[in-house]
Structure 1
């Protein structure tokens, strides 16, 4: 495990604790209910007082302050179409998972919104495997607003190369010929590039899913010392975590692939000897218990619960 000292009072000084922030992002995946047969599909499995305890992250000195309810008016994803909680007719609401608040394009857009609304607010971003978001003008404006960004990207990961695989910020060196290309996609901030091949614990073969997994990134960050040094062997994170949801570890380690799952895949034996979906504790139900069943289903169709961490 990573160091567990309380850093909540000095987070501005040591925001380079990349692994720690990555573990917070990973927590939103581990606690998210992806089960399309679950009564609470699309919500967080635990309330804000239990989340860190259930995921073994209770010694960081942080606390969950609230859950974000977010919606997106786009086609329903296939994994949710199988759920018995939603109607399959017409344009549907998608439960939007904010990607751990550290991944995807959302951190940059959220930072821009916050800095625009509250001038002088200190805004810093640590992102993992994020794609390009907008153009050069957007990048320059973020810089002028004082937003600090550290992008952690994998050399083998395809997502950080998108969009703009060909037309991107690298074309700036040809400005004398092409002129300023304001329409091309560009990355923002400083970059920490990690190489899968640097780790002796990872398979050296193409694995698009494994390259993009956050646990792979955290393993590489934990073993990173410098661009010129080898992978450090005294890393603190358990190597087995890499294979939680992929197949990246060398077979010699004898770690099962995709090993992270609920006991008995979420079923439990009740007092009648029947294997059933368990009922959640009342405090972990993501909506008021006083609502009618119809209103409950309506809320489940429209809302996803995402942990927001107090930094």
Structure 2
């Protein structure tokens, strides 16, 4: 019988120009990296039946949190815990209302990237953002989000289509924003967020299928050849395209420059770095989190380490066991929100993954170097809508289920939780953008399943 949790309610066109150049990691300055030993546990929470199964991989290192008064449950007072300082112990099972509200909030900031992305081939802004930075959040209905967009991020994967056809270069991939003064007071710190969309363009689809592992080598002073990541995601992150003014600098260089600039600007305040993305975007978020920590760039002017938290929605595996272990050592906190019926979250590494057993009951070298492994704590939902197969990977479906108040209130006496969740989702407003995203995500699923 499922355990029911008391969760409260919070609120592709083609073109030429096929050649891009790989970004040079050596151009990025390095700094000393403080390793924070914390190995996150994996927690599975199934919804809408909300069944819980907690699996501990390795005991997490103890985390000393500042004292707070009894019953003090404000976000400002416990933001470090909500951001994963204690690997979300006691917050995922049962799901804490503040954590759920934050997951939904960051998910909506990711959804903004889809709503603002211009897919009209006749538009002069095609494959870019429809709006200027100053009004983007307002234009997509998030004027009250309380963040100021400081930079748009562009990417151009170094891939080519079979038969020699040129790829359709990716353009606008997401944005960097910082919390306004009012929101910073409510959050208890100055939050820097980077939000990434998922796969849309043809070149991104091709990149997603490049499932070979490749050393990340982000720190030229210590390349760490055992730390490997999926070559397609790495291409999106590190490649540039000199033929376009938006991508003359790689996605990576744009991000490292802007995030470090904001850290220095607000160095006299408490700061958090939050990286959020959906599907491929969650992979870019994790690569950025690892990159910042590996280079030691998440330091403020006082020498303090700025916490890095990744909110991953429907994310695939990104790297091997060495990558996962290094992220843990560096203290990069990752909360993976997944639908157990979503095939994207099981890729790559269908056969060699964290559950593989080869020698002596555990995976050993050299197999571990070739083994894809998820990073962080998993919060697993369980939903499927037969009339809309794309639902299993749809960000709005993820967020709709998390926001659904009825899911948490259903008793164990035979109520059909699934039909209630479906009814809630079907009552949402499916505008042109929603239908457009469904078509795109069906394409993703078809590719993932090799159909």
Shorter-chain TM-score: what band? 0.5 to 0.7
Correspondence for 1:102 among 277, 288, 293: 277
By relative contact order (CA 8 Å, sep 6+), the higher-ranking structure is 1
**1:187-202 to 2 correspondences below 5 Å:** 187-196=374-383
Q: 1:125 to 1:233 in 2, by over 3 A?
A: same
> What is the TM-score when the length of structure 1 is the normalising length?
0.62
Identify if the C-alpha distance between structure 1 residues 176 and 232 changes in structure 2 by more than 3 Å, giving closer, same or farther.
same
TM-score using structure 2 length = 0.44
Whole-angstrom distance in 1 between the partners of 2:150 and 2:77: 16
Matched position secondary structure for 1:102: strand
For 1:19 and 1:8, how far apart are their aligned partners in 2?
Answer: 17
Tell me which residue corresponds to 2:289: 111
SS in 1 for 2:337: strand
Count of aligned positions: 224
Q: 1:186 aligns with which of 359, 370, 373?
A: 373
- Hey, what's the Cα distance between the residues in 2 that align with 1:76 and 1:179? 35
Residue 113 of structure 2 corresponds to 28
Q: Which residue matches 1:285?
A: none
Identify unmatched segments of 5+ residues in structure 2: 1-8, 12-74, 84-98, 175-195, 198-275, 299-304, 411-420, 437-451
Match of 1:37, SS state, is coil
Which residue, out of 91, 102, 105, partners 2:166? 91
Match of 1:176 among 360, 384, 388: 360
Change (3 A) 1:11 1:251: closer
Task: Say if 1:251 and 1:106 are closer, same or farther in 2 by CA, change over 3 A.
Answer: closer
Distance, in Å, in 2 between the alignment partners of 1:127 and 1:253 is 24
- Residues 207, 171 of structure 1: CA spacing in aligned structure 2 closer, same or farther, 3 A cutoff? farther
- Give the alignment of 1:126-275 within 5 angstroms: 126-172=311-357, 175-177=359-361, 179-180=363-364, 181-182=367-368, 183-196=370-383, 203=385, 205=386, 207-223=388-404, 231-232=407-408, 249-250=422-423, 259-261=431-433
Aligned-residue CA RMSD (Å): 3.5
TM-superposition CA deviations, 1:114-144 (whole Å, max 9, x none): 1122263421101100001111111000000
- Structure 1: unaligned runs, 5 residues or longer: 78-88, 198-202, 225-229, 235-247, 266-311
| 1:58-90 deviation per Cα after TM superposition (whole angstroms, max 9, x unaligned) | 22222211111322222379xxxxxxxxxxx95
